[in-house]
Amino acid sequence: MKFICEKNILQEAIITAQKAVTGKSTMPVLQGILMSVQNNELTLIGSDIDLSIETKINVEVLEEGKVVLDARLLSEIIRKLPNSKVEIQTIENNCVEITCNKSKLTLVYLNPNDFPSLPEIDENSIFKINQKTLKTMIKGTIFAIAQDETRPILTGVLFEIKDSKLNLVAIDGYRLALRSQYIDNETSINAVIPGKTLNEVIKILEDDGDVNITFTSNHILFNLGNTKIISRLLEGEFIKYNSIIPEEYNLNIVARKEELLDCIERASLMAKDGNNNLIKLDIEDDVMIITSNSQLGNVREEINIILQGQPLKIAFNSKYLIDVLKIMNQEEIVMNFSSSISPCIIKNKENDDSTYLILPVRLATI
Amino acid sequence: MKFICEKNILQEAIITAQKAVTGKSTMPVLQGILMSVQNNELTLIGSDIDLSIETKINVEVLEEGKVVLDARLLSEIIRKLPNSKVEIQTIENNCVEITCNKSKLTLVYLNPNDFPSLPEIDENSIFKINQKTLKTMIKGTIFAIAQDETRPILTGVLFEIKDSKLNLVAIDGYRLALRSQYIDNETSINAVIPGKTLNEVIKILEDDGDVNITFTSNHILFNLGNTKIISRLLEGEFIKYNSIIPEEYNLNIVARKEELLDCIERASLMAKDGNNNLIKLDIEDDVMIITSNSQLGNVREEINIILQGQPLKIAFNSKYLIDVLKIMNQEEIVMNFSSSISPCIIKNKENDDSTYLILPVRLATI
């Protein structure tokens, strides 16, 4: 194997493939990146079995071949090289030689035949979505996945395609996040993608261009052109999320999002220590009073709102409200309530692409 | 106590005083900041006994008085308030009320009489130095203080004034860092400032203006005008650093600093795992070859130098060389050597304000 490539281009490709190298596998070869040189291309693959990332760049090929190189070390070496052409070739003793200007490094390589092959995926059944849109949808839901493994299926995000609409759903038992987008596709899909995969996907998705997505019974493939991300799906049945979201409410309020977020963040300062982040909302005619208290002191915040319905007192874990308000991107939001023990629904005032549900905290007396 | 103040100004003052609040003291009152309102001023003091920081701002005083407020909580609260006027006043039940627009917080205060008073320091014996110069000198030495407490005196930086020159010196047993600056002062001083203090001092020093420095037998006072930093000195005798620095050498080389740093950083990549960061320098006529090797591979770097004297092979812990080269700010450096087992001295080529000494690693055979 022998090829020549610009340092910056190589570095970027390594960073991409390396995102799938978690170092958690027991197979030593999976701490490496598979580099294959063929035709005019260098293909780099990183994998931890569950998640694999393949990326291709054009290089000047002098001799075809393949090797596996330690991902962390390779990445650090290439990063530290001067901005110039890098030549990589296999030499004796299972080593590659990396040359760049006056720097010469040799690095032991691992056997490329030990590297597991990628799952075969037929890319015929595809739907297409704008990369930025998908990134926003993932960021808008992933924070609500379950952090513990009690119900493994909840550590992922449901990708549902139904009625020409893509829905992403995350539920952790205390809250639900739903983002929706119309897409030009008639198929019906129900697949749960591990949160770990999606955390890497949002780092790779760019702000323009489309991504093609293919589902098989066990895998999802994100094809960005030069880069493919393949992930195992989570097994099991996801919660029927539609039955959780109430369809009717007794009252709704409209509030300015930034102002509400600031108030809740200040109130949460006093709700931290041994207090479950508890804050109380007192919804009155034109104002909402937000209070919290602890041994150290208390906070009272007041915000103007528009109320339809009867006044209500209700309490929440402030963290859940803050997570939602931070990720919403419209100026005004609508909050729907039924009672102090029923879930609260938060949506944008102007559009219907985001639905958040949060369970209140029951208090003996509010 | 009652005063009104702009949020931004108050926030900045709290951040300054808070740098002395380490939370490591057993006295609960030292987790707080002492706020005293008198005349037209608010004085804030943070302290962990060893280190105290006092800062003053002008505020609109409605009633004089003083309180101690939890530093972390106060700082978070003020940071989250809107950019507007903040009113703070004492109310019943040992509380202060903080009001800003429609936000109202109450916070329990601690007894200000429990707060230890600052050491009395007569500011007559003073020397003056440019803040930026002092910051550069501290940053240029502090990295070389000892990290363990085996010899407590080495966890500080020596401030020596001799022959109208301020010298800052740090030694950790393997290396020495010395920065010098002529000052307009005839006194003679020999004091060792804790590294912990200086780490906070460099965060507070600005890029223009002077700082007045006073020494007593036990303390140092940095007076920046509105802010005073008072620190205990370390007790004991510092190493006579002059006797360590050799006066004669057998060879010296001139090298471009950035290029040398890059080469050593790349070489150090292979010197990490279980290898004591060992790199070898092979100084020849016009070039220096830098090599390192490990089980994973090896590196060979070549850099053009100007050599006066005989060729030499010598080995170092690359970390020590990298620390020095990163902090030096001139384009070309001079390295002086005597033998493969004698210390190496690194200076700027163009000026004499920096002297670094590094012990080599003895090898059976290089």
**pLDDT beneath 70, residues of chain B:** 125, 273-275, 364-366
Q: Residue A331 pLDDT more than 70?
A: yes
Distance from CA of A270 to the nearest CA of B (A): 8
Which pLDDT score is estimated for A186?
85
Average pLDDT of A51-71?
A: 97
Q: How many CB pairs under 8 A join A and B?
A: 80
Q: Is B289 on the interface with A (CB under 8 A)?
A: no
Cα angle value A28/A31/A37 (rounded, 5°): 105
Q: Is B240 on the interface with A (CB under 8 A)?
A: no
Written as one letter, the residue type at B204 is: I
Which of B66, B103, B58, B56 minimizes the C-alpha distance to B84? B103
Which pLDDT score is estimated for A275?
64
Q: Residue A12 pLDDT more than 60?
A: yes
For residues B303 and B286, the answer to whether their CB atoms sit within 8 Å is no
Q: How does residue A273 score in pLDDT terms, banded at 50, 70 and 90?
A: low
Contacts of A154 (CB under 8 A, 6+ apart): A145, A146, A170, A171, A172, A173, A239
Strand-pair partners of A126: A214
Nearest residue in chain B measured CA to CA from A261 = B80
Cα angle value B285/B288/B289 (rounded, 5°): 125
Query: Which tokens sit at B203?
Result: 């965060």
Contact call for A108 and B297, based on CB within 8 A = yes
* Most confidently modeled range among A264-273, A300-309, B273-282: A300-309
Contact call for A298 and B81, based on CB within 8 A = no
Which pLDDT score is estimated for A364?
64
- Name the residue among A102, A108, A262 with its Cβ closest to that of B82: A262
Which pLDDT score is estimated for B323?
97
Chain B residues with CB-CB distance to A77 below 8 A: 266, 269
**What's chain A's average pLDDT?**
94
Cα angle value B124/B128/B133 (rounded, 5°): 155
Give per-residue pLDDT as tens, A190-247.
999 999 999 999 999 999 999 999 999 999 999 999 999 999 999 999 999 999 999 9
Q: Residue A365 pLDDT more than 70?
A: no
Which pLDDT score is estimated for B366?
44
Give per-residue pLDDT as tens, B215-261.
999 999 999 999 999 999 999 999 999 999 999 999 999 999 999 99
Classify A159 as helix, strand or coil: strand
The ipTM estimated for the assembled molecules is 0.86
Which pLDDT score is estimated for A24?
77
- Map out the domains of chain A with their CATH numbers: 2-114 (3.10.150.10), 126-243 (3.10.150.10), 251-358 (3.10.150.10)
Average pLDDT of A39-56?
A: 96
- Name the residue among B95, B107, B297 with its Cβ closest to that of A107: B297
Which pLDDT score is estimated for B275?
64
Give per-residue pLDDT as tens, A105-151.
999 999 999 999 999 998 876 789 999 999 999 999 999 999 999 99
Question: At which residue do the structure tokens 């090289």 appear?
Answer: A81
Cα angle value B39/B40/B43 (rounded, 5°): 85
Chain A residues with CB-CB distance to B298 below 8 A: 105-106
Written as one letter, the residue type at A283 is: I
- Name the residue among B77, B269, B301 with its Cβ closest to that of A102: B301
DSSP 8-state code for residue A295: T
